[in-house]
Amino acid sequence: MASGKRQIVKRGAAEKDRTLSDRAYESILAKIMDGDIPVGGKLPTEQVLSEEIGISRPVLRQALKQLREDDVIVSRQGSGSYVNRRPEGAVRDFAPVGSIADIQRTFEFRAAIEGEAAYLAAGRRTDADLNEMRLALDELERCIKAGELGVAADEAFHVAICNAADNKYFAAARSSMQSNILTGMNLTRNLSLTKPQQRLKLVQSEHYEIFEAIEQADSNAARLAMRNHVENARKRIFEG
């Protein structure tokens, strides 16, 4: 019983640390997006940041690690952390306050789940599955030409791949995160609409790469194409 209580306490502490880390992540991100720390500029020391945000240094390091993974900052040994890129302020126009860290985690989840779904879909898809994917791609093409958002068609394409994996748990896992997934899609596609049309065409070319690998029953290529697509979507949030 005592062991079980310790595990619960540890889990609770980890959840609290993650929440604090997310707060620190978004606080530092806001400073960078507002231009308080310019591209090439050095972040304050860990001690200064931890005191300013009101968190411990270990928790702060979790936030800095995520910012490095997002390619927003870079660390130079013995020198500190520097701003590598400044995400556009438009990110906050389309993402709910306090949601950016969670959106990034959703992309990590999608890369893992949908990568494996694409792998299985390449070996199990039926003609009907392929037709569903084609219909979604055709609708995305129409949306690109019309300058429309295309979130529903984008979602339909990814759902069709999960269904083609012929394992209900892939679709169920993705469905459990649908609200978060749609928030991420809305963000990335809205940001793409603020760019030249070439941006949406690039995203569409990634969709075609996934589809062609599944159509050709190349499981490894399908998994890689899907993982690359989701990871690229995550990175495009911070292209700035």
Mean pLDDT by 10 residues, the chain (240 residues): 51 58 90 91 95 93 91 90 86 76 89 97 98 98 94 97 97 91 91 87 96 98 98 83
Question: SS3 helix, strand, coil % of the chain, rounded to 5?
Answer: 75, 5, 20
Q: Residue 97 has what pLDDT?
A: 60
Q: What does the pLDDT read at residue 16?
A: 56
> Which residue, among 10, 203, 17, 181, has the nearest Cα to 102 in the 3D structure?
181
Identical fold for domains 2-86 and 91-236, yes or no, is: no
Read off the pTM.
Answer: 0.81
Supply the pLDDT for residue 4: 57
**Helix or strand (DSSP H, E) at 32:** helix 2-33
Q: How many residues in the chain? A: 240
CATH code for residues 91-236 = 1.20.120.530
User: Was domain 2-86 assigned CATH 1.10.10.10?
Assistant: yes
Q: Where are the domains of the chain?
A: 2-86, 91-236
Report in angstroms the alpha-carbon separations of 148 from 59, 197, 223, 224.
41, 11, 28, 28
